[in-house]
Amino acid sequence: MAIISEVEEESSSSRPSMLPFRATFNSSNPLGFLEKVFDFLGQQSDFLKKPSAEEEIAAVVRAAKEKLRKAEKKAEKESVKPVEKKPEKETVKPTMAASSAEPMEVEKPKEEKKKETQTGPIVPNIGNGTDLENYSWVQTLQEVTVNVPVPTGTKARSVVCEIKKNRLKLGLKGQDPIIDGELYRSVKPDDCYWNIEDQKVISVLLTKQDQMEWWKCCVKGEPEIDTQKVEPESSKLADLDPETRSTVEKMMFDQRQKQMGLPTSDELQKQEILKKFMSQHPEMDFSNAKIN
């Protein structure tokens, strides 16, 4: 493609003159065309001698690129058509007639898919429990507290709550239960109770049967937490009896040691006994001994 342009140049008499510029543009070698343009400028003007020539040329290039970018963005928006949302597949149960044919692809419910994607224990919430879709729960070594949001204005007489040794059923009258399942561990039903707070949250307190174990979940089948990452409040230790407090402190120490890859209190005690035995029997050679 031939391009012809006219360039103004001041002559010695300060009168402008029109000089023709002829060059053939080859799309496979655009730089060659630009070289001819700059050669022409250098021969017919003092533009390239200006200190700001490079900055001015760069500014022109940036402006051209921005113009091109806007044009491409506009064309892209015009070419994109809204995508029609396809209806979700319904769950289809295979029939006896279909058993002899090719296997049917059955779409699984969203809740079931969600459970399949959860692998491994999760990090506990700030209360050493879990925040689930319909309720949340927190725990200490002695108790588990379950909090269930309900519509504002809910009265106590509308609540259905059954607390058994190994099972919890909770919901509102005339509706499906919000919680209905086997508890992670046994509780003391006589020491459990529930109340409704501000007519919008049902709070259930469960007293653990074994008060020296952290629960991994409230109801079996729900996502389990990583009990190695449980952080009991140190301020609560003062409320425990000396024996329980000593046990809890030992558990906390062992937990921190395991996280750092260090020996637990029992392992340290065994190492101390071994050192004492070795010091009492210097005549024995332990250099080649393998001790677990």
Under 8 Å between Cβ of 152 and 200: yes
* Alpha-carbon span 253 to 245, nearest angstrom: 12
Both tokens of residue 86?
Answer: 């396809």
Percent of the chain with pLDDT over 90: 32
Residue 28: which pLDDT band, with cuts at 50, 70 and 90? confident
Contacts of 67 (CB under 8 A, 6+ apart): none
Digit-coded pLDDT (tens) for 168-211: 999 999 999 999 999 999 999 999 999 998 889 999 999 999 98
Given a cut of 90, whether residue 223 has pLDDT beyond it is yes
Average pLDDT in the 222-244 region?
A: 76
- Which range of 8-12, 16-20, 162-166 scores highest in mean pLDDT? It is 162-166
Q: Which segment of 61-75, 148-162, 187-201 scores lowest on mean pLDDT? A: 61-75
Packed helices 265-280 and 242-259: angle between N→C axes, nearest 10 degrees: 90
Q: Which segment of 6-15, 68-77, 182-191 scores lowest on mean pLDDT? A: 6-15
Q: Per the confidence metrics, is the pTM higher than 0.85?
A: no
For residues 95-109, b (16+ Cβ closer than 10 Å) or e, as one string?
eeeeeeeeeeeeeee
pLDDT value of position 186: 96
Residue 237: which pLDDT band, with cuts at 50, 70 and 90? low
Contacts of 152 (CB under 8 A, 6+ apart): 199, 200
Average pLDDT in the 95-119 region?
A: 49
Under 8 Å between Cβ of 194 and 205: yes
* Alpha-carbon span 247 to 44, nearest angstrom: 94
Given a cut of 70, whether residue 22 has pLDDT beyond it is yes
pLDDT value of position 262: 82
Under 8 Å between Cβ of 179 and 219: yes
Given a cut of 70, whether residue 95 has pLDDT beyond it is no
Widest CA span in the chain: 115
pLDDT value of position 80: 62
* Alpha-carbon span 140 to 125, nearest angstrom: 12
Residue 92: which pLDDT band, with cuts at 50, 70 and 90? very low
H helices of the chain, in order, are 30-44, 53-79, 110-117, 242-259, 265-280
* Alpha-carbon span 112 to 125, nearest angstrom: 23
**Second CATH level (architecture) for the domain 130-207:** Sandwich (2.60)
pLDDT value of position 235: 47
* Alpha-carbon span 92 to 106, nearest angstrom: 6
What Rg value do the Cα atoms of the chain yield, rounded? 39
Domain boundaries of the chain, sorted by first residue: 30-71, 130-207, 242-278
pLDDT, greater one: 119 or 213: 213
Q: Average per-residue pLDDT in the chain?
A: 78
pLDDT value of position 73: 79
Closest CA to 176 of 209, 143, 134, 142: 134
Under 8 Å between Cβ of 94 and 107: no
